[in-house]
Amino acid sequence: MAHITASVYTSHVPAIGAALDHGKTNEPYWQPVFAGYETSKQWMKQNTPDVIFLVYNDHASAFNLDMIPTFALGCAAEFKPADEGWGPRPVPLVKGHSELAAHIAHSVIQDDFDLTIVNRMDVDHGLTVPLSLMFGQPAQWPCPVIPFAVNVVQYPVPSGRRCFALGSAIRKAVELFDEPLDVQIWGTGGMSHQLQGPRAGLINREWDNRFLDRLIAEPEALAATPHIEYVREAGSEGIELVMWLIARGAMNAAPPDVVHRFYHVPASNTAVGHLILENRR
């Protein structure tokens, strides 16, 4: 049987990808951001999973207003880095895991979550920046990745409660897969940021850190937070944080081990938050 070993949570910001791709990680502005991922990269080397189930959001790269799936499961064999306006990032092709993805589709849809099956999808910074932060700049990504795109861009967005319950259906599906795979689930996006309007630039350190505390200690209660609180307290793009609840919902009920916790402001317009939680064996 497959099982979920750990969950990784991290912000994504396009400028982080650009800093890496253009060799700027040691510049004074960026050095403290990348320093926060040094422990994580070491841990990843020792704990490379067989597959990553990567929860992220697309930013009008693969989808647009023509079609807005709430939960889109990438079942393809491979996914190309998207052209987000400056050409695709120079990162490796993302290799999928079609067998596990198809199995998860079957199990989770029969468990009453109406996923959209996607057999062709380019992946944007929402997915590639977390991979770069955790793996650096390898010639190939070290394991297959199942992309799971959540709509947090166009209202209505899914509730935290729905995301948390979906995570637990994903854990059940993984545990029903008949191969002994170590699977990590990643929740990405956030933390506080607002990219437009009179409140552009909003950061809320206190709220972000309380979110991290509660994600660790009382995720189910945290999942009851209404979407309007994310928007009010963490900015319009702070709603990306509901995706972290999918990853947290996929963890065991027993308290996890906190391997690493990091928080830094700023990276572009965003507060960077990062956690690694391991299931106890």
Using CB under 6 A, list all residues that contact ligand DHB: 12-15, 59, 193, 195, 237, 268-270
Kind plus residue range of the DSSP H or E element containing 211: helix 205-217
CB of 25 to ligand DHB, least distance (A): 17
**In whole angstroms, what is the distance from residue 253 CA to residue 8 CA?**
16
Phi/psi-derived region of residue 111, left when phi > 0, alpha when psi is between -120 and 50, beta in every other case: alpha
Q: If we measure between CA atoms, which residue out of 177, 183, 182, 179 comes closest to residue 247?
A: 183
Q: Considering the complex, what minimum distance in angstroms separates the CB of residue 84 from ligand DHB?
A: 9
Shortest CB 57 distance to ligand DHB, Å: 8
Active-site position among 59, 97, 103, 193: 193
CB 152 within 8 A of CB 57: yes
Task: For residue 198, give every residue at least 6 positions away whose Cβ sits within 8 Å of its Cβ, in sequence order, or none.
Answer: none
Class of residue 75 by CB neighbours under 10 A (exposed 0-12, middle 13-18, buried 19+): buried
The residue (of 14 and 49) whose beta carbon lies closer to ligand DHB is 14
d(CA 1, CA 231): 39
156 preceded by a cis bond (ω within 30 of 0): yes
d(CA 13, CA 240): 12
In the complex, the smallest distance separating the C-beta of residue 114 from ligand DHB, rounded to whole angstroms, is 25
54: β partners: 147, 186
Q: Is 227 noted as a catalytic residue in this protein?
A: no
Q: Report the first-to-last Cα separation within the chain, whole angstroms.
A: 15
| Residue 193 beta carbon to ligand DHB: minimum distance, rounded to whole angstroms | 5
What is the closest distance, in whole angstroms, from the C-beta atom of residue 89 to ligand DHB in the complex? Answer: 13
Are 54 and 130 a contacting pair, CB within 8 Å?
Answer: yes
Closer residue to ligand DHB (CB): 59 or 103: 59
201 or 255: CB nearest ligand DHB: 201
Closer Cβ to ligand DHB, 195 or 216, answer by number: 195
Q: Which is nearer to ligand DHB, 107 or 128 (CB)?
A: 128
264 is catalytic: no
Closer to ligand DHB at the Cβ: 19 or 222?
Answer: 19
Single-letter code of the amino acid located at 160: G
Residue whose pair of structure tokens reads 């319950």 in the numeric block: 165
Rounded to 5°, the CA angle 144-51-273 comes to 100
User: Which residues are identified as catalytic?
Assistant: 125, 193
